[in-house]
C-alpha cells in the first residue's frame, strides 16, 4: 500500500468526497455538501484514502452544531480491501482523539440481499480490523398511510395530566418498545431517551397518550409531529397486551395532525414489537448497526 495516501479533507474539496458513486443509493442520506453547509460535517472530521490519485475510501464523522458529545462515524464507503479502510480509520482515530462510535446505515433486510452484502462486507470488516466491536442493530420503520387496524375497544386513551405523570410512568417502564432517535438524543443532547424523554422532546404533553384499562395506566406513547419526520419517539408498556391498540392510537394522533408518514425505531431483537409494528402497517426502511470501541458503554 505504498501508493496509498490517507489524509483529512481540505476545505473546498467537497467534490472529491462526492466523486465516489454512492454504493447504497436506496438509503435516505444527507448529501455531503448539505451536511457541510449545515455544520454537521467538517473537512477536519472527514478522511479520504487515495490510491494513485483515485478515491478508494471515504469516511465522514458527524457532529451537529451545539452537540455535547463526540463526533460519530456517519459515512464510511470503501472501494478497496478492508485493510485500506482499517488504515484510514486508524489514522483518523489517532487524529480525532481515539476511536468512537460508528453507525453503519444499511438498507432494510440487508442480510438477505446479496447485492447489498457485496457493498457492506468490506467497510464492516475494516471497522472490526480497526478495533471496533458490533454492539447492536436498530431498525427504522415507516407507516405511510396504510389503513390502521380497527380498535378492539379494550382500552381507553387520554393525554397525560402533566409532565409529572409522564415522568412517573416512564420510571415504571424498564425497557421501552420504541425509542426513535435515541442515538441523536444521547450524542447531541446528552439525554437518555429511555429514562428522560421530555428532556429531549420538550414538556408539551398534548401529543402523548396514556392507555388505560379499567382506569389504570397500562402504556404510554409520545409522538412528535414537528421533528424531521412525524415519529413515535417513545412507546413503553406496563401490560404488553396493550401494544397493538396503543400503537394504532399513536399513529391516529399523528395522522389527525396531517402526518402522511410516521417513523419508528426498534431494536432488531425485539421481535414481538417489530411484528406488531408490521401488523399496524409499518414497513422497514433501513437498519443501523452500531460499532463501538471495546471499552465503550454503548
Task: Copy the grid coordinates of residue 206.
Answer: 398534548
Check whether 225 has a pLDDT greater than 80: no
Give Cα 250 distance to the centre of its chain: 20
Question: What is the chain's length?
Answer: 298
d(CA 169, CA 237): 9
pLDDT tens column, 11-62: 889 899 999 999 999 888 888 989 999 999 999 999 999 999 999 999 999 9
pLDDT tens column, 170-210: 999 999 999 999 999 998 999 999 999 999 999 888 889 99
Domains of the chain, earliest start first:
4-131 (3.40.630.30), 143-284 (3.40.630.30)
Q: Is residue 124 a contact partner of residue 132, using CB atoms and an 8 Å limit?
A: no
Looking at residue 2, its pLDDT comes to 60
Collapsing DSSP to helix, strand or coil, 29 comes out as coil
Task: Copy the grid coordinates of residue 78.
Answer: 470503501
Is the pTM higher than 0.85? Answer: yes
Looking at residue 168, its pLDDT comes to 97
What are the residues facing 292 on neighbouring strands? 133
Amino acid at each position: 500500500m505504498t501508493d496509498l495516501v490517507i489524509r483529512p479533507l481540505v476545505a473546498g474539496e467537497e467534490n472529491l468526497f462526492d466523486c465516489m458513486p454512492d454504493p447504497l443509493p436506496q438509503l435516505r442520506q444527507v448529501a455531503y455538501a448539505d451536511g457541510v453547509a449545515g455544520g454537521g460535517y467538517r473537512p477536519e472530521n472527514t478522511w479520504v484514502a487515495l490510491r494513485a490519485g483515485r478515491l478508494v475510501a471515504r469516511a465522514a464523522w458527524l457532529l451537529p452544531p451545539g452537540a455535547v458529545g463526540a463526533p460519530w462515524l456517519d459515512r464510511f464507503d470503501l472501494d478497496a480491501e478492508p485493510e485500506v479502510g482499517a488504515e484510514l480509520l486508524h489514522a483518523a482515530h489517532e487524529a480525532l482523539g481515539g476511536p468512537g462510535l460508528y453507525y453503519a446505515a444499511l438498507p432494510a433486510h440487508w442480510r438477505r440481499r446479496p447485492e447489498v452484502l457485496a457493498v457492506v462486507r468490506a467497510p464492516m470488516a475494516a471497522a472490526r480490523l480497526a478495533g471496533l466491536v458490533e454492539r447492536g442493530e436498530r431498525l427504522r420503520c415507516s407507516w405511510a398511510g396504510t389503513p390502521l387496524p380497527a380498535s378492539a375497544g379494550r382500552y381507553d386513551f387520554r393525554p397525560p395530566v402533566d409532565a409529572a405523570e409522564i415522568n412517573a410512568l416512564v420510571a415504571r417502564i424498564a425497557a421501552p418498545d420504541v425509542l426513535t432517535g435515541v442515538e441523536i438524543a444521547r450524542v447531541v443532547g446528552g439525554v437518555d431517551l429511555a429514562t428522560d424523554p421530555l428532556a429531549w422532546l420538550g414538556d408539551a404533553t398534548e401529543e402523548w397518550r396514556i392507555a388505560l384499562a379499567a382506569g389504570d395506566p397500562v402504556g404510554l406513547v409520545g409522538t412528535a409531529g414537528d421533528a424531521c419526520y412525524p415519529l413515535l419517539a417513545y412507546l413503553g408498556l406496563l401490560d404488553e397486551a396493550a401494544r397493538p391498540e396503543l400503537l394504532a392510537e399513536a399513529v391516529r394522533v399523528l395522522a389527525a395532525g396531517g402526518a402522511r408518514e410516521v417513523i419508528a425505531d426498534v431494536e432488531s431483537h425485539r421481535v414481538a414489537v417489530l411484528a406488531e409494528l408490521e401488523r399496524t402497517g409499518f414497513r422497514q426502511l433501513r437498519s443501523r448497526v452500531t460499532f463501538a470501541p471495546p471499552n465503550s458503554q454503548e
